[in-house]
Amino acid sequence: MRGRVVLPGRAEGEVLACDEPLSFWGGVDPAAGRVIDVRHPLAGRELAGRVLALPGTRGSCTGSGVLLDMALGGRAPAALVFRDEEDVATLGALVAAQLFDRPLPVLRLDAEAFARLSRARRAAIGPDAIETDLGAVPLDPPAADLLELSAEDRAMLDGAHGPAAALAMRILRAMAANQGAERLIDVAQAHIDGCIYASPANLTFAERMLELGARVRIPTTMNAISVDHANWRTQGVAPDFGGPAQRLADAYVRMGCRPSFTCAPYLLEDAPRPGQAVGWSESNAVIYANSVLGARTAKHPDFLDLCIALTGRAPLSGPYLERNRLARRVIEVELPDGIDDAFWPLLGWLAGRLSPDRIPLLRGLAAARPGPEALKALCAAFGATSGAPMLHVEGVTPEAHLLDPDADRARIDRAALREGWRALNRGPEQIDLVAVGSPHASAEECRALADLMQGRKARAALIVTLGRGVLETIRAEGVLARLEAAGARVIPDLCWCSIVEPVFPPKARAVMTNSGKYAHYGPGLSGRAVRFGALAACAEAAATGRAPRDLPSWLS
């Protein structure tokens, strides 16, 4: 039994262990230090001061900001202990130590040592061992820094391009060592996820980097933010939230980022090409870029995304390397007859649960000929339940031939689909709000919703979130006017993962969505009951105020 120090430090506390990964964003309330993911085994448990032992993390890249906020507010775990490779929470702890002098130990244990720690009541972490009531586990020192730096890398590290670039290179160097990377590579573009106001720590970090003179070196787009940038005041958003959220977005724009404000950058005109190395954050975007576009990016945590944008460099590790893009689990899927668009997010959510720590290959789907909309929904829901950076669909995605010969097998049959459907449909039939646009709605999705609502008027609140580019497209086509005539509110810049009251109707108690991602995160984020279904079922719920009572025909 052995472990390794990832980030050093001393800590002691009660052990809180679980064998299921956790997304800090959407799964943990940083202000309370408590797990809010209602589907997680640790739901309701307090994390502050505990030695938290998890296999790894999953879900959103924004978890690093949540962890940093917990550290700055004194609500963080005493230490983080992982069994598998982990970057998101580790990066939050690294920034807490590097930029704010708040060290938080991070360890990685082998399977046997992790199992022992999970059975212990208390643990004390020192520089070379974890002492528990069940015995000690020796710890190896942090991984050696084997990184080969170019002359330009060294110049940045030495401060030739200013203190912000130097700090970015120090953080990149530390993360590269943790990942075992031997060199950095150039990336063509970056996408910033840290512009979401998930916590005050995101703003603290961005403004500190701006003070240090941060300026991006490569084309850099921005994720959805937490408010409608131009209209949040007239929408009634409280200034103590809207003001900092706008300041955060503006800080990144001042660093040279493009105010695209979308969580679906693959819908933009400059989406990456097959084989192109990029530095993206935002889980659904990363999975779509790798899986569907055939581009190459790791699932970079918040804050590391800016470090990559400031330097134009990323560690050569993870899915940048072909050997790490191999499917190591084959999931045979029973494809029902007559599926609708709800099938794809449901499948993604289930596939992520079946493959939380490795890239899967989904078989049995080629006959359905999924297009970009279906794959968008599949990838987004998969990212909510898996920590893997991509998936393959046999006969559909460009790298589905990348299969480990020792891959294991799993299956999703009709019974599993029904079980998943029921898990995502625990809310009541009466619906107060219909949520479309997680990730951001495409022009095609907006056109389809306008057709479904033609001649009808929304009885329940109907809100669509989307990017600025898509908004301009549907405005020019007259689709926006049609949606608004049906009673829909169409809101740019923010998305459902960051929407707050009163934009989120305060009186709404039950929500219907066509997003597997929001069906997963919504109960914890909003405190509301959630129903899930196809876009047509969402339109019906908007028009009637009621969700369908029965299973869809392809599941019944």
pLDDT tens across 204-237, in order?
999 999 999 999 999 999 999 999 999 999 999 9
**Nearest by Cα to 14 from 40, 56, 47, 55:** 47
Contact 271, 260 (CB under 8 A): no
Taking the C-alpha atoms of residue 168 and residue 216, their distance in angstroms, rounded to an integer, is 11
Give the pLDDT of residue 59.
84
Taking the C-alpha atoms of residue 374 and residue 369, their distance in angstroms, rounded to an integer, is 9
**Nearest by Cα to 308 from 173, 195, 207:** 173
Indicate whether 145 pLDDT > 90: no
Question: Among the options 60, 64, 281, 526, which is catalytic?
Answer: 60
For residue 357, CA distances in Å to 28, 57, 143, 240, 289 come to 20, 9, 22, 38, 19
* CA angle in degrees (0–180, nearest 5) for 446-448-454: 100
Indicate whether 265 pLDDT > 90: yes
Contact 349, 319 (CB under 8 A): no
Taking the C-alpha atoms of residue 471 and residue 468, their distance in angstroms, rounded to an integer, is 5
Indicate whether 402 pLDDT > 80: yes
Active site residue 355: no
Indicate whether 146 pLDDT > 90: no
Give the pLDDT of residue 61.
82
Find the DSSP H helices in 355-395. 372-385
Cis peptide, bond prior to residue 41, ω within 30 of zero: no
Place of tokens 């590579």: 185
Taking the C-alpha atoms of residue 307 and residue 312, their distance in angstroms, rounded to an integer, is 8
The arithmetic mean of pLDDT across residues 537-545, rounded, is 98
User: How large a percentage of the chain has pLDDT more than 90?
Assistant: 94
The arithmetic mean of pLDDT across residues 192-207, rounded, is 92
**Nearest by Cα to 221 from 186, 176, 188:** 188
Q: Which residues pair with 488 in a beta bridge?
A: 462
- The DSSP letter of residue 300 is P
The arithmetic mean of pLDDT across residues 255-277, rounded, is 97
Q: How many helices (H) and strands (E) does the chain have?
A: 17, 24
Distance spanning both ends of the chain, measured CA to CA: 49
pLDDT per position as a tens digit, 276-302? 999 999 999 999 999 999 999 999 999
**Nearest by Cα to 264 from 532, 469, 463:** 469
User: How large a percentage of the chain has pLDDT more than 70?
Assistant: 100
Confidence of residue 113 (pLDDT cuts 50, 70, 90): very high
3-state SS, residue 291: helix
Give the pLDDT of residue 150.
95
pLDDT per position as a tens digit, 364-395? 999 999 999 999 999 999 999 999 999 999 99
Confidence of residue 60 (pLDDT cuts 50, 70, 90): confident
pLDDT per position as a tens digit, 335-374? 999 999 999 999 999 999 999 999 999 999 999 999 999 9
3-state SS, residue 324: helix
Confidence of residue 111 (pLDDT cuts 50, 70, 90): very high
Taking the C-alpha atoms of residue 275 and residue 282, their distance in angstroms, rounded to an integer, is 19
Place of tokens 């300041």: 247
